[in-house]
Amino acid sequence: MTDSREQVLIATCSHDAPCLNRTLTDTITRLLPKDAVISNRWLYEGEAWELKFVAQGDGGAHFRKQAQTATLGFPIDINVLPLDGRRRRKRLLLADMDSTIIQQECIDEIAAFAGLRHEIAGITGAAMRGEIGFEESLKARVALLKGLSVDAIDTVLSRRLSLMPGARTLVKTMKAHGAFCALVTGGFSVFAERVADAVGFDDFRANELKIADGALSGEVAEPVLGGDGKREVLEAFAKELAIPLRDTLAVGDGANDLCMLAAAGLGVAFRAKPVVASAARVKLTHSDLRALLFLQGYPRNELAA
């Protein structure tokens, strides 16, 4: 049985800019008393390294801060998690779409096509920062798009969207090890269906745009999938698949992801807005989505090609 004091520090950086080296890992290791170190290993040399240790009364919080200080100036993410034995590898993944699985915000890209980027991006940003309610912001943004031809959606899908680095590797690897992977977004099903298929997700949940006579009506179908809805989707999938919430992983960047991140066994703020990053225990600022696998202890030789 795993000692409840056993923790693991995971240091990660971008696959495209690997900057971890043995000097840094040795420096981090020396921050601990020798009798507190259990083991360390490269998960992916230059990109991901983990150190298992026995934590003191603060659960490793002070050590995490020391390690962050030791790597200051390097684009490295430092996270500390309970070792948690076999439960470290999660059986259910729920991922946000916009600015998480893809690099864009879909509605902002539609707005750009319509010449409304500035107006709509401002509302999007305020919603993601938690300054206004998500449902209110979504309806306001969609209303501005009333009358836009559905052809704009096809243009955005084919020309303006790109996957976040590591997205396919994340999903393919977790599925290869028996996990169920779902996309859940406050965006729209017309985009989510295509993205889910491209990445390899098992399922998706999203909002529905109303369309009339080949154009956007300016309305969203009820009920609107927002922050509480994302948490409910996580709980529903977990119940349906008989997976305890502690065995789930959720990832997102916006304020409407906070409830989902809090409910998951492992909730990760990915390149998140400040309100989300400050609330999340686990955050990835510099790393790509492969780091979600490293947090679970997957080494290089288990990553799906």
Q: What torsion, rounded to 10 degrees, do the Cα atoms 226, 228, 232, 238 define?
A: 100
Q: What size, in residues, is the chain?
A: 305
| Residue 234, in any domain of the structure | no
pLDDT tens for 4-17 read: 689 999 999 999 99
| Residue 252, in any domain of the structure | no
Model pTM? 0.94
| Residue 304, in any domain of the structure | no
> Mean pLDDT throughout 41-46?
98
Choose, from 77, 84, 96, 257, the residue flagged as catalytic: 96
pLDDT tens for 126-165 read: 888 889 999 999 999 999 999 999 988 888 988 889 999 9
Spell 167-196 as b/e; 16+ CB within 10 A means b.
bbbbbebbbeeebbbbbbbbbbbbbbebbb
Q: Are strands 266-270 and 248-252 parallel, antiparallel or unpaired?
A: parallel
pLDDT tens for 59-108 read: 899 999 999 999 999 999 999 999 988 899 999 999 999 999 999 999 88
CB 285 within 8 A of CB 277: yes
Choose, from 98, 253, 257, 288, the residue flagged as catalytic: 98
Distance between CA atoms of residues 156 and 151, nearest Å: 9
Task: Tell me which residue of 165, 166, 186, 184 sits closest to 174, measured CA to CA.
Answer: 166
Name the one residue in this structure whose structure tokens are 């955005």: 156
pLDDT tens for 102-127 read: 999 998 898 888 889 888 989 988 88
CB 113 within 8 A of CB 152: yes
pLDDT of 241 above 70? yes
| Residue 57, in any domain of the structure | yes
Look up residue 85 and give its DSSP letter.
G
Distance between CA atoms of residues 138 and 226, nearest Å: 9
pLDDT of residue 1: 40
Least confident of 131-140, 240-249, 280-289: 131-140
pLDDT of 2 above 60? no
CB 195 within 8 A of CB 168: no
CATH of the domain at 78: 3.30.70.260
Count of domains forming the chain: 1
> Mean pLDDT throughout 163-175?
98
Q: Which domain holds residue 55?
A: 1-88
| β-bridge mates for residue 249, sequence order | 93, 266
| Residue 28, in any domain of the structure | yes
Q: Is 150 helix (H, G, I), strand (E, B) or coil?
A: coil
pLDDT of residue 165: 97
61 Cβ neighbours under 8 A, 6+ residues apart: 80
Q: Is the dihedral of CA 261, 262, 266, 271 positive or negative?
A: positive
Q: Which two tokens stand for residue 140?
A: 């306001």
| Residue 172, in any domain of the structure | no
Cα 91 to Cα 40, 94, 171, distances in angstroms: 25, 10, 12
pLDDT tens for 181-206 read: 999 999 999 999 999 999 999 999 99
pLDDT of 3 above 70? no
Catalytic-residue membership of 203: no
| Residue 121, in any domain of the structure | no
| Residue 102, in any domain of the structure | no
pLDDT of 213 above 60? yes
Q: Is 228 helix (H, G, I), strand (E, B) or coil?
A: helix
Distance between CA atoms of residues 279 and 302, nearest Å: 31
> Mean pLDDT throughout 228-234?
98
Catalytic-residue membership of 98: yes
